[in-house]
Amino acid sequence: MLNVSDPAFWSRLQFGFTLTYHYLFPQLTMGLAWFLVYWKWRALRTGDERYHVAAQFWAKIFGLNFAVGVVTGIPMEFQFGTNWAGFSRYAGAVVGQTLAMEGMFAFFMESAFVGVFIWGEKRLGPRVHFLTALLVATGSWLSGYFILVTNAFMQHPVGYHIEADGTLGIASLSAYLLNPWAFVQFAHNQCAALVTGSFVVTSVGAFYTLRGLHPTQSKIYLRAGTLVGLFASLLVAFPTGDQQAKMVGRHQEVTLAAMEGKFKGSDEAGVALIGQPNVEAQRLDNAIEVPGALSFLAYGSFGSYVHGLDEYPQNVWPDNIELLYYAFHLMITLGTIFIFVMAYANFRRWRGKLDTDRWLLWVLLLAFPFPYIANTLGWMTTELGRQPWLIYNLFHTGDGYSKVVSNGDTIFTLIGFTGLYFVLGLLFLGLTGRELAFGPDYEIPSNGKELVE
């Protein structure tokens, strides 16, 4: 169980805080990147200035978001040496491979072409400028893949061997890079990033529509945002979310039991719609379940047996079952709501009534923070579920933190990060708000016609 006097607790809290804050920005970067590619492609193919303006406007938001993401990501790299020296010594020869690849290949490509994309259009011409947008998007997603391969190794270690000194080394680079867990996690994570991007684009379109501003651009944002949002929300649930659940069921059975508050194994195990995990009594209080649903989600059959926590020693249980359970179920609830909201928005748009449905526009405007919350809950589920291991079944979390760093040092730097990130957040919101207030640089005069695709 968690112990606030344990140095590992504060190192985990510090890393969890910096990671959670940092990931607010990459998820939008990855979610927006392909919108930019699409609008640049449309502008290049049709010569329609509206799509060129959309790409220009969102490139500014993308650039601001990317810059803050870079700044907030730097402290995480240092924490491997300062707070997690034990983990770095044990697994650095493995996880360092993909962290280096991310920096040398993906990040450099993305960061180099972001500047070219934002400021170099006049020198490059339309075709080369479209290519830079494609390279930016590719770099952002490639960066995500390398990071997720690192995390996938911690969830499901493959392609390693144990050296003579007890540390890990690479036995097969291809097995490590092509970890099946990484493929599933990458697909799920990137679809979730697209959900974030689509909700942000839709929210801005709804804002301008409600204010009666930039009508041509707001139609483009609403159409692209709601359409991508629906498909991405569906893909998050199936097949990517379904495959992620099956991966957990095959390789982390105790995690699956904790995620569902399942203390006793059974056939035809149900998914809890409502319930409160009671760890002391080892039961799920006030449970309302869908019979057989968990068996089907985890193993593809309604009658499959799902293991319970009582089948494992308590020292391998996730150390915060309550938080894990609620994070998982809130994530699922929000994902379901996203599907219904975007499905209804697309229906209203198909009927030609989205622009005039003020209640729905307000919902779309105010909904943009919730994908951020859902993504955060998803990562909480992933990381809390792996505990008490840093590398599943290989290396305990308690062995990974730096023994020479005191609680006071860690708390002091955590307070410093909190203050710094608060200032960065205010700066980001101020600059982004200024761009949104200014709006697109160019607006095609309204001729009373609907936007036709």
pLDDT digits (tens, 9 = 90+) for 107-121: 778 888 898 888 888
* pLDDT, tens digit, 9 for 90 and up, residues 137-174: 999 999 999 999 999 999 999 999 999 999 999 999 99
Residue 157: cis peptide before it, omega within 30 degrees of 0? no
Could you count the other beta carbons within 10 Å of the beta carbon of residue 269?
Answer: 29
Residue closest to 31 by CA, chosen among 62, 3, 57: 62
Asked if pLDDT for residue 280 goes beyond 50, the answer is yes
**Residue 136 confidence (pLDDT):** 94
Contact predicate 413/13, CB 8 Å: no
DSSP 47-71: --HHHHHHHHHHHHHHHHHHHHHHH
Helix-then-strand count for the chain, H and E: 17, 8
- Residues 6 or more apart whose Cβ sits within 8 Å of residue 91: 153, 167, 168, 390, 391, 395
Q: Cα separation of 205 and 64, whole Å?
A: 19
Residue indicated by tokens 């059975």: 253
For residue 452, name the pLDDT band (cuts at 50, 70, 90): very low
Asked if pLDDT for residue 297 goes beyond 80, the answer is yes
Q: What is the DSSP letter of 6?
A: S
Least confident of 78-87, 163-172, 319-328: 78-87
Phi-psi region of 312 (alpha: psi -120 to 50; beta: other; left: phi over 0): beta
**Residue 453 confidence (pLDDT):** 39
**Mean pLDDT along residues 268-296:** 93
**Residue 415 confidence (pLDDT):** 95
Residue closest to 74 by CA, chosen among 426, 421, 423, 409: 421
Provide the token pair at 278: 């009671």
**Higher-confidence position of 74 and 379:** 379
Residue indicated by tokens 């869908």: 290
pLDDT > 70: what percent of the chain?
97
Could you count the other beta carbons within 10 Å of the beta carbon of residue 205?
Answer: 26
How much is the mean pLDDT over the chain?
Answer: 93
Q: Cα separation of 237 and 69, whole Å?
A: 27
**Residue 108 confidence (pLDDT):** 79
**Mean pLDDT along residues 23-35:** 97
Residue 289 C-alpha from the chain's centroid:
28
Asked if pLDDT for residue 19 goes beyond 60, the answer is yes
Residue closest to 106 by CA, chosen among 39, 37, 30, 182: 30
Q: Cα separation of 362 and 368, whole Å?
A: 11
Asked if pLDDT for residue 77 goes beyond 90, the answer is no
Helix (H, G, I), strand (E, B) or coil at 298: helix
**Residue 123 confidence (pLDDT):** 85
**Mean pLDDT along residues 386-399:** 96
Contact predicate 110/143, CB 8 Å: yes
Q: What global pTM score does this model have?
A: 0.95
**Residue 141 confidence (pLDDT):** 96
**Residue 315 confidence (pLDDT):** 93
Residue indicated by tokens 């006049």: 122
Residue 365 C-alpha from the chain's centroid:
21
pLDDT > 90: what percent of the chain?
86
Helices 26-46 and 49-82 pack at an angle, to 10 degrees, of 160
H helices within 179-308, ranges in order?
A: 180-211, 215-235, 242-251, 253-259, 293-299
Provide the token pair at 215: 């009508």
Q: Angle at Cα 119 formed by Cα 118 and Cα 125, nearest 5°?
A: 95
Contact predicate 58/224, CB 8 Å: no
The residue type of 438 is F
